[in-house]
Chain A
Amino acid sequence: MINADILMTGVGGQGVILASDALAEIAMKAGYDVKKSDSLGMSQRGGSVVSHLRIGERIFSPMIKKGDADFILGFERLEGARWVDYLRKDGVAIINNLAIPPLSVVGGASKYPSVSEVEDAVRQRTDQIHFIPGTEIATELGNPQALNVLLVGFLSFFLGIDEKAYVEDLSQRVPPKFLEINLKAFARGREEALRRKQTGHH
């Protein structure tokens, strides 16, 4: 049995909640207790989005305690950094290397953190940091919106749930015309994780 506390973060419209819904369903079908909690409401208007997903034998709280998350899956660099306090010591941070500057940055009132600033912040908790060019790969595959499935693919490598379960879920969840690209994105994400493990590259 696995116990995994996963925090997924991003910007409204990136498909964070769809991804956590899919993963929750897959884990439940694999026999786990699952609870998940999303920030909804006004966040669909381009605000920050965070989804808490907990998988285990028996789960009580639907929210992860700060400092307890095994994984942070950041769909965007700033949003990956914003929630890093939730990561447990030596947890795994997976961050899509994409910057979507908020309006305060656009207007010049604040500064968007650089890659090294985000890395420094994450490194206070863990050395296991993966910056992934997820949006680039998804765009290459033909649809930047497939980012969420790509990131789930990457994360799936760490979770020990049968790969077939993901493919089955995607086949049911994704409309037929987008299925192929989503399956490709999932496979690419998983390959990327494997490659990094083999090369020891973070």
Chain B
Amino acid sequence: MKKLLSGNEAMALGAYHAGLSLAAAYPGTPSTEIMENLAKFQGIYVEWSTNEKVALEVAMGASYGGVRALASMKHVGLNVAADPFFAVSVTGVRGGLVVICCDDPGMHSSQNEQDNRHYARFAKVPMLEPSDSQEAYSLMEWAFKISEEFDTPVLFRSTTRISHCKTVAKIADSPEMKRKQPRFVRDLHKFVMVPSNARPRHPLMEERVQKLSSYFETFPLNEMILRDRNTGIISAGVAYQYAREVFRDASFLKLVTTYPLPENLIRRFASEVKRVVVVEELDPFIEDHLKAMGINVIGKQLVPIVGELNPQMLEESATNLRLLPQPDTPPSARTAEHELPPRPPLLCPGCPHAATSYALRRLGFYHIVPQDDPESQKQPAAHLKRQGIIATSDIGCYTLAVYPPLLALDTCACMGASIGQAHGLEKAGVTNKIVSVIGDSTFLHSGITSLVNVVYNEGRGTVIILDNNTTAMTGHQGHPGTGISARGEKAQRVVIEDLSRGIGVRDVNVIGAFDLPAIEATIRRCVETDEPSVIVVRGDCPLRVREKGKPLVVNLEECDRCYNCLRVGCPAISRDNDDVRIDTLMCVGDRCSLCLQVCHRQAIKVSDR
């Protein structure tokens, strides 16, 4: 049966058809849809785990219990899960264990573009990389087989353009889907990694890499295409597709087994062609290995080490290096793309993070540039000096409040970092008042231990937990605070304020997300105290709960054009020449009313329509 599938859909289906029994994940672009699709299948256990480390440990446990299991995550998620990833490489598996990580070259929705292929070599784990949805589907069965045959977890590496592109895949009409019987067999030498047991495992891991390397020499999905022998291209993943597009006649060695590399196959290919070119996104992972083998290659001088690759970048670079002839028609002059106004993502109309962001903006700045000064508007950040509260921030929709006009935040590094950063700033002796801003899902992912740390080490930190009752940025997945499972069913709810009190925070506040005066007053009060405090700001994400209140309208007679409402950063409010308008289609009405609250002339009113 032919189907148009995204890479993520294909990986989910491939795993299901391969007899998967358990899957665990934490949402993260571009990996989220793998679990969302697995959750549609019956007869398997699926869960959103609290974080990637937990997800991998759950999958590891299932594998020890003899069944096929997987954990999926985005590239930085594997940093969180690195500890169990290395650990399970040492113990090996029982049931097949596949770890899917989806890298994000170009950082479409990430804080870095680390190349996770290094994890395979680092942890001595075999790695498979599909180049389209067909391979994402077909390779999954292989991944589980390899895992069981070689007693190892398998790293299944995807990238944004594999995970999110849709391509045609032929899938099995009646797959076997034979799931293994769960059974744990005690084996202290294998599963209990005290040093005396771990030492004999290391030589086994080295041996395993050697065996895998030989096994991959004849792996059926690696493909050698010999055509024009002047140029031989070695490539993998989506980069292979770009290379096929651009180098129409060249010879190719497509690798889906990118660690350990099949050295004899590579040598054979290299001997068939005049020059070897490696086309790979991000780091020179394959290139460095080939150079260590003594093979002369063109690699990073062709494809930049930074950013996402695309076909025209490859073509231009290949033409410059004279690997391709000059095109007959020179590319036409670029139009004035850069002069067009940008359209960065924004907090949505009715966003429950908007009022807190606005309050932080006010508490953070003492000098506000007049809205009607076009010169300073071009570089607002440079003209605004921070004096008041420092707001360390975290990973989630609220990070968008760093953009103009809100400019409300001072840091954003990695999941859960805000609370530790604020504590560090405080203990270093920085005299500003400091708050950390973290979302509900992120707090439960990796903020809890930092809050414990603040209590234990007698910090004074104020932690603002923006609770929109979902994991919003990745598309509304459940988390422990929502009481909704990966299948969308009712689950046990972890109550954030109870948890905070349990940790030992005495000053715990819960405020409605659109109550601007209360939010501002509570922040002002909490930053003055000498003990840790938590402010839970609670309101549902408007993209999930699509409710609207009574519409808001601007009374232009009353409006004095101060444009304070524009500083809220709401996409529903716009300026039409001098006048301010509210787009009633976009506005959620008096469910939010933040603009109404900041208007000093009461010119914004709730309409009875």
**Residues of chain A having any CB pair with chain B under 8 Å:** 11-12, 21, 24-25, 28, 33-48, 59-67, 78-79, 81-82, 84-85, 89, 101-113, 121, 124-125, 144
Contact = CB atoms under 8 A, between A and B. Distances in A.
A144 B166 CA distance: 27
> Interface residue tally of chain B, by bracket?
35 or more
Nearest to A38: B164
B371 interface: yes
B250 interface: no
Given A62-B161, A79-B343, A108-B371, 4 more contacts: A44-B345, A45-B346, A45-B397, A60-B241
B374 A108 contact: yes
B107 to A, nearest CB: 10
Contacts of A82: 337, 340
Contacts of B310: 63, 65
Contacts of B242: 60-61, 63
A41 to B, nearest CB: 3
A106 B372 CA distance: 11
6 contacts: A35-B168, A44-B345, A63-B311, A65-B315, A66-B331, A124-B333
Contacts of B374: 108-109
B245 A24 contact: no
Contact of A106 (B161, B329, B575): B575
B312 A36 contact: no
Given A38-B164, A40-B109, A65-B311, A102 B345 contact: no
Nearest to B333: A124
B377 to A, nearest CB: 4
B332 A45 contact: no
Interface in B100-141: 108-109, 132
Which residue among B340, B372, B380, B569 has the maximum number of chain A CB atoms within 10 Å of its CB? B340
Contacts of B175: none
B325 to A, nearest CB: 16
Which residue among A62, A78, A144 has the maximum number of chain B CB atoms within 10 Å of its CB? A62
B108 A60 contact: no
B233 interface: no
Given A25-B4, A89-B332, A106-B575, A111 B165 contact: no
Contacts of A112: 341
B411 interface: no
B166 A67 contact: no
B418 interface: no
Contact of A28 (B4, B30, B164, B397): B4
Interface in B235-256: 238, 241-242, 244-245
List the 7 shortest-distance A-B pairs measured between CB atoms, nearest first.
Answer: A41-B109, A47-B345, A110-B341, A45-B345, A61-B245, A62-B165, A60-B244
A48 B334 CA distance: 20
Contacts of B322: none
A67 B237 CA distance: 24
B543 to A, nearest CB: 8
A33 B310 CA distance: 20
Contact of A37 (B164, B341, B346, B400): B164
B566 interface: yes
Contacts of A85: 334-335, 337
Contacts of B164: 37-38, 40
Contacts of A33: 168
A63 B566 CA distance: 37
A47 B344 contact: yes
B57 to A, nearest CB: 27
B194 to A, nearest CB: 43
A37 B109 contact: no
Contacts of B446: none
Interface in B550-580: 566, 569, 571, 573-575
B168 A36 contact: no
B4 A12 contact: no
Contacts of A35: 132, 165-168
Given A36-B165, A47-B346, A84 B335 contact: yes
Contacts of A103: 344, 346, 404-405, 569, 571
A65 B340 contact: no
B203 interface: no
Contact of A40 (B29, B378, B404): B29
A36 B575 contact: no
Interface in B344-360: 344-348
A78 B168 contact: no
Contact of B345 (A12, A37, A65, A106): A12
